[in-house]
Structure 1
Amino acid sequence: MSIYQHFRPEEREFIDQVTDWKENVEQQYASKLTDFLDPREQHILKSIIGESGDVKYSFFGGIDNGERKRALLYPDYLTPNEEDFQISLFEIEYPKKFVTIEHRQVLGTLMSLGLKRGKFGDILIADERVQFLAATEAASFIINHVETIGRAGVKLVEKPLDQALDLKEIWDESEITVSSLRLDTVISSVFHLSRQKSQLFIQHGVAKVNWTMIENPSFSCGEGDLISVRGYGRSKILRIDGKTKKEKWRMLIGKQK
């Protein structure tokens, strides 16, 4: 039985990458640190590595309740610590009296540097303070190249991880059943919309899965997916518990308050 059949066709490249990482750790008895992974990628990695065997894994994103995390694959005789994940925390200093800085502006500025999305973790905003997490190997480059965000002149100040802002994200968990794992069906159930309306949202480009716009209503959702619809918020598929006697999918979702 091929491992690919359990995942989406577009995830095949990442599956091969995880498989290579696992084999290298087994053969070289050396740890492998990944870039920041989104929740779906974390789910795939856990599925492939498994809970038994000679290769173990741990996740850490710099904060306890973060979404994006680096993974460390290591031989079973090692015990990793936070320093092994090589994560840096930056606070953005800017003229708060005159401008505001939004999440999308921070992400847009960081992506414009030409670095991969995987080099950046969560962006943290609270009470006009703005921080972001990044891979330590990219820290010097980021500091030297970020001088403005939006219309604001900024200065990046590196902070210890224990000074990270609290995300303060509250997820309201609930169990639902859906007739299929199609994106339009899941959106309809999660956000209490008609099937027709959910299809229109998808076709008009206002629905995203794991931060990627999806315009195909029949896209198949999976465990670990973060689903957002503009104007309706975000929801995570925390767990898929299989089918009921009536052939409906039973899942646990978390909806952001």
Structure 2
Amino acid sequence: MEEKTRDFLAGRVRDLAGRAYMNGFVTHTDFLSVSELAMFYQILAAEGVPSNVHEYCGARYVTYGGIDDAERRMICFLPDYMDEESFLLSENAENSVCKCVHVTPLNNKFADDLNHRDYLGSVMNLGIERDQIGDILAGDKEAFIFATPDIAEMMVKELIRIRHTSVKCQIVNAAECNIEPKFEEISGSVASERIDAILAFVYHLSRSEAQKLIESESVFIDGRTAYSGGYDLKAGSRVSVRGHGKFIYLGTTNTTRKGRLFVTARVFR
């Protein structure tokens, strides 16, 4: 199944890149999960594209999800007259690729305490596919949902209730999204900065359990699959672990007399 998915994605991005290059306009995938983005990078590696070269089949590309720290992202292929900076400036002004929907209750007094799952479930109950929806940032009595333009328009018209709460939806500029992901900053000592050691520390696992996660290709570092427990994390690395969550590794702060490292990580809740 994974091989079929990879082959489909490879054909899709090759077609989109070719159309951007030949026709001179922006093309893009739907929203991809962390694992699907990792699959895209595997495709690039298999075709000999260096990881530091953001170009495929003659077209520059950028991954984009509406906000800087978006987890679910589109792969956007750019025409030859556009670079990443000009694309982001254009998108920030016009939101033509990805729109942001602000969801608020009609009456705060009678509103339920809604979470990410509530918003996602109500959106998908409209018949919307998951790949048409990007990140959902839920706050106190409000949420911002990133979506493709046509789906955003559909939500404005049809998303009127979440659980027992009547809501209204309005398309806003992504810059208006002021909800920050919740996280906990943790510190502790580890033997090394190897990814298996850091995983064990962050999620209270044994080293063997951490290694099994890596072997099952469930660990992604900056969007790329981690294949070896021996990889040393760099400060600032973003790590996603299927079934566990995600964290940002902040690096070392000190060393014990026995050579163990004090490290810090920001774990998203």
Q: 1:177 corresponds to which residue?
A: 194
Tell me the percent identity.
Answer: 23
Q: 1:4 corresponds to which residue?
A: none
- The alpha-carbon deviation at position 149 of structure 1 amounts to 0.7
Aligned with 1:129 (options 118, 127, 142): 142
- The alpha-carbon deviation at position 188 of structure 1 amounts to 4.2
List alignment gaps of at least 5 residues for structure 2. Answer: 224-238, 251-264
- The alpha-carbon deviation at position 131 of structure 1 amounts to 2.2
- Whichever residue aligns with residue 176 of structure 1, its letter is E
CA 1:161/1:71 → structure 2, altered by over 3 Å: closer, same or farther? same
Query: Where do residues 1-257 of structure 1 align in structure 2 (5 Å cutoff)?
Result: 9=3, 10-45=5-40, 48=44, 50-52=53-55, 54-78=58-82, 79-80=86-87, 81-82=90-91, 83=94, 84-98=96-110, 99-170=112-183, 176-177=193-194, 188=200, 190-194=202-206, 218-220=215-217, 221-223=219-221, 224=223, 226-229=240-243, 233-235=245-247, 255-256=267-268
CA 1:19/1:28 → structure 2, altered by over 3 Å: closer, same or farther? same
Q: Secondary structure at the match of 2:74?
A: strand
Aligned-residue Cα RMSD (Å) equals: 3.7
CA 1:161/1:109 → structure 2, altered by over 3 Å: closer, same or farther? same
Q: Secondary structure at the match of 1:72?
A: strand
Q: 2:262 corresponds to which residue?
A: none
Q: Secondary structure at the match of 2:30?
A: strand
CA 1:187/1:14 → structure 2, altered by over 3 Å: closer, same or farther? farther
Normalised to the residue count of structure 2, the TM-score between the two structures is 0.63
Q: Distance in 1 between matches of 2:66 and 2:161?
A: 24
**C-alpha offsets along residues 32-86 of structure 1, whole Å, 9 cap, x if unaligned?**
1222223343444456374356311123322232222333201232242213424
Contact between 2:136 and 2:144, CA under 8 Å: does it hold in 1?
yes
Contact between 2:103 and 2:167, CA under 8 Å: does it hold in 1?
no
CA 1:159/1:189 → structure 2, altered by over 3 Å: closer, same or farther? same
- The alpha-carbon deviation at position 103 of structure 1 amounts to 0.9
